[in-house]
């Protein structure tokens, strides 16, 4: 029963690593002249795996609110990396596609990402890296569940679900 929180507790360490990682990624992307923010990069990558998806779907996959995604899309679109096409089946909806120009950018992101992670994980056995990733995915799943719980409690309008 130590009476105070451990500054090396998992939560704090995780936060630290994420913050620093973001900073490092930012520097890399800036140096590489890619001209994207980390959030935009993440979004673009995710879109590439959900080619032709609706904004709501993509937002959900990214774990962000539709409005946040909308802002990123504005940027990505103005940079010519994605297109919003009307959904022929539903005129309210728009389908998101990457443009050919995005290919090089995505490859560039991947390069930076791989290289950065290579540096950052140096000194850690490959199995351990895999294990960490696996367990973090579990954490992410748990957190998703938590978020649903709390939004279920939340007194919101509609409250689908």
Partner DNA sequence: GCGCATAGTAAGGTCCGCTTACGATAAGCC
Partner DNA sequence: GGCTTATCGTAAGCGGACCTTACTATGCGC
Task: Show contacts with its own copies in window 15-54 (CB under 8 A).
Answer: 15-25, 27, 30-31, 33, 35, 38, 42, 45-46, 48-49
Q: Which is nearer to DNA, 4 or 161 (CB)?
A: 161
User: Judged by CB under 8 A, does residue 74 bind its own copies?
Assistant: no
Q: How far is CA 131 from the centre of its chain?
A: 20
User: Judged by CB under 8 A, does residue 10 bind its own copies?
Assistant: yes
Q: Any idea what the Cα angle at residue 72 is, between residues 103 and 117, rounded to 5°?
A: 60
Q: How far is CA 158 from the centre of its chain?
A: 26
Distance CA 52, CA 54 (A): 7
Closest to 48 in 3D by CA, of 110, 131, 118: 110
Stretch that binds DNA, among 3-11, 62-70, 102-110, 131-139 (CB under 7 A): 62-70
Query: 125 in helix, strand or coil?
Result: coil
User: Judged by CB under 8 A, does residue 67 bind its own copies?
Assistant: no
Interface residues toward DNA, by CB under 7 A = 15, 19, 23, 37-40, 42, 54-56, 63-68, 70-71, 73-74, 84, 87, 90-95, 156, 158, 160-161
């Amino acid at each position: 029963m130590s009476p105070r929180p451990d500054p090396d507790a998992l939560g704090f360490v995780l936060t630290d690593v994420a913050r620093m990682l973001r900073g490092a990624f930012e520097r890399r992307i800036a140096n590489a002249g890619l001209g994207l923010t980390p959030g935009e990069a993440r979004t673009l990558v995710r879109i590439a795996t959900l080619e032709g998806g609706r904004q709501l779907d993509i937002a959900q996959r990214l774990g962000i609110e539709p409005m946040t995604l909308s802002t990123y899309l504005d940027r990505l679109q103005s940079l010519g990396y994605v297109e919003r096409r009307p959904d022929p089946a539903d005129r309210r909806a728009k389908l998101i596609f990457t443009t050919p120009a995005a290919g090089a950018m995505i490859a560039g992101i991947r390069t930076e990402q791989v290289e950065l992670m290579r540096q950052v994980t140096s000194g850690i056995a490959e199995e351990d890296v895999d294990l960490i990733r696996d367990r973090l995915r579990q954490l992410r799943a748990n957190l998703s569940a938590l978020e649903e719980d709390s939004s279920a409690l939340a007194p919101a309008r509609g409250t689908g679900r």
